[in-house]
Amino acid sequence: MMKKTYLGLLVFCLSFTLVEAQVEKSPVAPDYNKLQQIIDEAYKLFENDSAGAPADYIPELARVEPDLFGISVVTVDGRVFSAGHVEHCFSIQSISKVFTLAMVMEQLGQQAILEKLGAEPTGLPFNSVTAIEQQATRVGNPLVNAGAIATTSLLEGKSAAAKWKNILAFYSACAGEELELLKDIYESEAATNARNQAIARLLDAYGVMYDDPEKAVDVYTRQCSVGITTKQLAAMGATLAAGGINPFTGVEVMNAENIPQILSIMLSCGMYDYSGTWSYLTGLPAKSGVGGGIVAVVPGKGAIAAFSPRLDGAGNSIRAQKAIAYISQQLNINIFDPQSVGVE
């Protein structure tokens, strides 16, 4: 069970102002000036990269300004370093899956994730129906659509409205600021989510849907439509990096014992069918969303978030990938490298 109720956490979080901690050294980089310099370099290097295109299967996402680009780093000591359009609010989309997974793990325990959801990469697109037929657990893992809808269906709550209220409060506690539903995105997704409805019905037929399919899809659609800025996304990632403690408020949002399991799933499944290559190139657990955001977590140190609407064929932001990879390489942060910065 959570240390406090989600609503209690939110009230506690909002009583604080997002201020930077006064410390002498960043746990992420050799020094603050170097970190900001590298972020600025990444922004300038990829600012004019026009490869890819915004997601068009959700009409409102196709209307997002494609040239928006922001990078933000939040360290576990509460420092913020940014460049670009980091205050622009975009939809969190599939990055939400990580935090709903965290909620279910808090409520049901780590073993339930393996028994009811699984943790295996599908090697197929995030909305694959074929994967449901091929995977032993049917849902594959909590970070593809089938697994995420099943995850949402497992959430405690007497009604869909109660589940949604808890989700929004928990996400806000992770960000350290109150988040809101982007109504235009939600309505656009709800009007075009027939495939997800079909996935939920198929899961129900296999006995791996734990609530009414229609209600589960609606709650899932709402969670994907939460508005987030690049700075807020980096703060959510930094909460994972800090063992479940929000770096700004000091609130213990989630159990530290669950973080390694969450990060392991992010590493193997977080970038969809590009996850293996991403891990090979960066060595960082990450999660992307078709809204254009990506967050990468550096355990014990902080998180790097980037936003750009133009996506590749797997549904991952092209500029965000390049920016995060560049920053991680320049800082030598890789969880598989014994010489990674911060290891002393």
Question: How far is it, in rounded angstroms, from Cα 91 to Cα 185?
Answer: 7
| 41 among annotated binding-site residues | no
Under DSSP, is residue 332 helix (H, G, I), strand (E, B) or coil? coil
Q: Are 219 and 167 in contact (CB under 8 A)?
A: yes
Residue 181 β-bridge partners = 226
Q: For residue 80, list its beta bridge partners.
A: 74
Nearest CA to 120 among 103, 132, 108?
Answer: 132
Q: Residue 290 annotated as binding?
A: yes
Residue 272 known to bind ligand: yes
CA 278 to chain centre: 15
Find all residues with CB under 8 Å of 31, minimum gap 6, and list them: 25
Instruction: Identify the H or E element spanning 91.
Output: strand 90-91
Are 53 and 290 contacting, i.e. CB atoms less than 8 angstroms apart? no
220 is in an annotated binding site: yes
In the chain, the amino acid numbered 105 is M
258 is in an annotated binding site: no
Which DSSP symbol is given to 90? E
Closest CA to 126 of 143, 101, 151: 143
219 is in an annotated binding site: no
The owner of tokens 């197929």 is 124
3-state helix, strand, coil in the chain (%, to 5): 50, 10, 40
Long-range contacts of 33-37 (CB under 8 A, 24+ apart): 35/73, 35/81, 35/331, 36/81
Do the beta carbons of residue 27 and residue 75 sit within 8 Å?
yes
Q: Give whole-number Cα distances, 336 to 29, 164, 279, 285, 333, in Å.
A: 17, 37, 10, 11, 9
171 is in an annotated binding site: no
Residues in the annotated binding site: 94, 145, 189, 196, 220, 272, 290
Residues in the annotated binding site for substrate: 94, 145, 189, 196, 220, 272, 290
